[in-house]
Amino acid sequence: MYEEIIQILNEHRCATNAEKQAAYLKNHFVFFGIATPERRQLMRPYLKSWSQSSKIDWQLLTNLWQTDYRECQYVALDFLQSSQKQLIFEDVERMLPMIQTKQWWDSIDCFDQLLGTIGLSDARVGSLMLQWAEADDFWLRRIAIDHQLGRREQTNEQLLAAIILKNKRETDFFFKKAIGWALRDYSKTNPEWVKKFIEQNKDQLQSLSIREAMKHVLSKKE
């Protein structure tokens, strides 16, 4: 399957698009130049087969991840998302080599969601996220901050607060935005909790995080 996927992607490469895609991600990666809708259309038969399989082909994922072209990592992530109902806590260790290589916000955003889904049915993810919130790896900490995005009423407020407070003094743009996004997302469900949290910690949180967090709350007032 790996060879077939590479052949298909290679046959649909576009140098002009590849240059634009690389520039968008600060030239950290090389691309075939295939847009996401086209890539998913090309991979649809494989994704369908994958979603119906009872077993995750971790070797295929590893091979795709180790390939230079960024679309190959996207295909691996598409495969994982199509099988996310099968993922269990023990699979986090299998995903970790992917999480910690070829890192950038585009792949990390996908792992946010994958880890968050596993965490809905396994409390061990919450404990792991508390560990990752203090990791040396910048991107592990970002996953910890944002892994509860979209949970709404299922958000663990205590966990959210603890993780944010462990990173409250970080001045890096990605950290400030991640904290803001996490709070803004939850403000759609519980704006009073978010307002109270910000009020209690406003002298410690970065201004960008506060602005991002309050966007939904302020727009509702208007």
77 found inside a domain: no
Residue 109: alpha-carbon gap to chain centroid: 2
Handedness of CA 26, 30, 33, 39 (dihedral sign): negative
Output the pLDDT for position 169.
80
Once rounded to an integer, what is the mean pLDDT over residues 39-60?
89
Residue type at position 170:
E
26: left (phi over 0), alpha (psi -120 to 50) or beta: left
154 found inside a domain: yes
Long-range contacts at 148-154 (CB < 8 A, ≥ 24 apart): 148/116, 148/119, 148/182, 148/186, 149/112, 149/113, 149/116, 149/181, 149/182, 149/185, 150/113, 150/116, 150/185, 151/116, 151/120, 151/186, 152/188, 152/189, 153/189, 154/120
18 found inside a domain: no
Question: Is the predicted pLDDT of residue 53 greater than 80, yes or no?
Answer: no
Contact, 132 vs 144, CB < 8 A? yes
Angle at 84 between CA 83 and CA 90, to 5 degrees: 110
Contact, 68 vs 30, CB < 8 A? yes
23 found inside a domain: no
Residue type at position 29:
F
CATH code of 177's domain: 1.25.40.290
pTM of the predicted model as reported, rounded to 2 decimal places: 0.91
Q: Confidence class of residue 220 from pLDDT cuts 50, 70 and 90?
A: low
Domain count, the chain: 1
Question: Is the predicted pLDDT of residue 110 greater than 70, yes or no?
Answer: yes
Q: By C-alpha distance, which of 148, 62, 50, 147 is closest to 102?
A: 62
Output the pLDDT for position 172.
85
89 found inside a domain: no
74 found inside a domain: no
Output the pLDDT for position 85.
87
75 vs 82: CA distance, rounded Å: 10
184 vs 187: CA distance, rounded Å: 5
**Residue-number span of the structural domain to which 186 is assigned:** 125-222
Q: Confidence class of residue 218 from pLDDT cuts 50, 70 and 90?
A: low
